[in-house]
Amino acid sequence: DGRFSGGTSGLSIGHVSPEAASGGSIGLIEDGDLIAIDIPNRGIQLQVSDAELAARREAQEARGDKAWTPKNRERQVSFALRAYASLATSADKGAVRDKSKLGG
């Protein structure tokens, strides 16, 4: 489908769930953190202590309604992409359009 075009010559990690916006640990990763990738067992492991992750999670959740929200980027987003984003589910739910989000 072209999402990983050119990425097939080496390791490619396409979806990580739960996503940061859902409170997933991926949102706690910081520059310099080590991540172990286990290809045979299809796993990845953030090499940060549970205590450090707990401290990061607490700091993130202290942000209140801004927790788990990415930094805003000034950019033009087409109507089609905004419409898709409003209906799309996260990767752990299939990354598909959920028509029930339309209401009514």
Residue that the structure tokens 């607490």 belong to: 58
Identify the DSSP state of 88.
B
H-helix segments, 1-104: 50-61, 79-87
- Going through the chain in order, the beta strands assigned E by DSSP cover 35-38, 43-46
By three-state DSSP, how is residue 63 classified?
coil
> Which residues are marked as active site?
5
